């Protein structure tokens, strides 16, 4: 990418939860924004969003929205990405897309900067941001994979409702209030009540019984780590937490790695914060990860049922590291 002092940035899906988070992170990290174009559906036209002490109008996402744009950060859903991301790339922008539209396209790099930044060199105008639950898992596992080579991963996720958007967050709040007031509970976003409940159901189910979210974790992890030999199985669960995903991860490695060795490796890893002192009630929790950039790892212990196994508990803010922050970090790598 051409080196500049300032860059013309477009944010597609600017009024959504992730879009707003992208704007906040660009400002927090002093990204060298020159011009800023905020794009969304026609329903949002006329809305203004704050950035850098100024108000910017939201424009309708159109085919000609990307003239002069250097970097386009997309969080507008897979359907709009499939339509508009290629047009943005044709206009000369580099697209960082947060949807599932291009993740498994062999021509499109799937990037977590702490894990596989070199993949950016092969981009052809579009770069994919991985699924939120995949991002935090590979950040935690890459340092261990480099040293001991992971053979198998068994992961169960506990995913916050913000992963389904603002309507899901509103639904959880309304349901909690209704239950505490002994009123009828209504569900629209999810097939069942989410308040005080857990749903082992994220995205659609395949005939195999696995959900689309579970298979995203399988396929994306192999692509990011560039290792199709890893056996991976996932169960993804929606829980009544507003923000931050948690994951229980069990790995089997080729080379023996102790819990203490894992702690030391992770303590030195970029983007990782180890919180692992159960005796003093220190371990990662969603409420502490919310609003933070790090991927938090704790409950590190050896799996006594196999010779080379480890268990980990991994928590990260799904709107930040799981989406907006990762996209901005990719943009930062692009302009270096």
CA distance 90 to 92: 5
Q: What is the average per-residue pLDDT within 223-250?
A: 98
Q: What is the average per-residue pLDDT within 104-123?
A: 96
Give the CATH number for residue 82.
Answer: 3.40.50.720
Q: What is the DSSP letter of 323?
A: I
Tens of pLDDT along 129-183?
Answer: 999 999 999 999 999 999 999 999 999 999 999 999 999 999 999 999 999 999 9
Helix (H, G, I), strand (E, B) or coil at 160: coil
Q: What is the average per-residue pLDDT within 308-319?
A: 98
Model pLDDT, residue 2: 59
Q: Which domain holds residue 116?
A: 7-130+323-335
Note the pTM of the prediction, 2 decimals: 0.95
Does residue 16 surpass a pLDDT of 70?
A: yes
Asked whether residue 187 falls in the same domain as residue 98, the answer is no
Model pLDDT, residue 3: 73
**90: which 2 tokens?**
């044709």
Asked whether residue 153 falls in the same domain as residue 116, the answer is no
* Annotated catalytic residue within 8, 123, 145, 245: 245
The β-bridge partners of 39 are 12, 59
Q: Kindly state whether residue 2 falls inside one of the protein's structural domains.
A: no
Asked whether residue 149 falls in the same domain as residue 81, the answer is no
Model pLDDT, residue 86: 97
Average pLDDT, the chain: 96
> Is 245 marked active-site?
yes
Q: Kindly state whether residue 215 falls inside one of the protein's structural domains.
A: yes
Asked whether residue 64 falls in the same domain as residue 170, the answer is no
Q: What percent of the chain has pLDDT over 70?
A: 99
Q: How many domains does the chain divide into?
A: 2
Model pLDDT, residue 46: 86
Give the CATH number for residue 220.
Answer: 3.30.360.10
* Annotated catalytic residue within 8, 132, 145, 273: 132
Residues 6+ apart with CB under 8 A from 81: 12, 74, 97, 99, 101, 102
Does residue 1 surpass a pLDDT of 60?
A: no
**280: which 2 tokens?**
């003093």
Asked whether residue 75 falls in the same domain as residue 209, the answer is no
CA distance 131 to 213: 8
Q: What is the average per-residue pLDDT within 62-80?
A: 95
Asked whether residue 301 falls in the same domain as residue 199, the answer is yes
């Amino acid at each position: 990418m051409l080196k500049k002092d300032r860059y013309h940035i477009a944010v597609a899906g600017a009024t959504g939860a992730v879009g707003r988070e992208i704007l906040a992170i660009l400002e927090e990290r002093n990204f060298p924004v020159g011009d800023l174009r905020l794009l969304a559906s026609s329903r949002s036209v006329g809305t203004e969003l704050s950035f850098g002490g100024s108000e910017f109008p939201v424009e309708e996402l159109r085919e000609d929205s990307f003239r002069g744009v250097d970097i386009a950060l997309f969080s507008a859903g897979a359907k709009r990405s499939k339509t508009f991301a290629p047009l943005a790339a044709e206009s000369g922008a580099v697209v960082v897309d947060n949807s599932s539209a291009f993740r498994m396209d062999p021509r499109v790099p799937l990037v977590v900067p702490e894990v596989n930044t070199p993949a950016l060199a092969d981009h052809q105008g579009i770069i994919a941001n991985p699924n939120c639950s995949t991002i935090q898992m590979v950040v935690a596992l890459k340092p261990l994979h480099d040293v001991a080579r992971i053979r198998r991963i068994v992961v169960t996720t506990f995913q916050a409702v913000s992963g389904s958007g603002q309507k899901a967050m509103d639904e959880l709040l309304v349901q909690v209030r209704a239950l505490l007031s002994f009123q009828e509970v209504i569900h629209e976003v999810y097939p069942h009540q989410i308040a005080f409940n857990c749903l082992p159901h994220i995205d659609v189910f395949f005939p195999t019984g696995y959900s689309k979210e579970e298979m995203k974790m399988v396929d994306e992890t192999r692509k990011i780590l560039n290792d199709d030999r890893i056996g991976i199985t996932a169960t993804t669960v929606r829980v009544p937490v507003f923000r931050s995903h948690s994951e229980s991860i069990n790995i089997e490695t080729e080379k023996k790695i102790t819990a203490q060795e894992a702690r030391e490796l992770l303590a030195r890893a970029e983007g990782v914060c180890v919180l692992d002192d159960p005796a003093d009630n220190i371990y990662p929790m969603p409420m502490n990860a919310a609003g933070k950039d790090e991927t938090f790892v704790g409950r590190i212990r050896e799996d006594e049922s196999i010779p080379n196994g480890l268990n980990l508990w991994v928590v990260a803010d799904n709107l930040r590291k799981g989406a907006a922050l990762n996209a901005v970090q990719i943009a930062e790598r692009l302009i270096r």
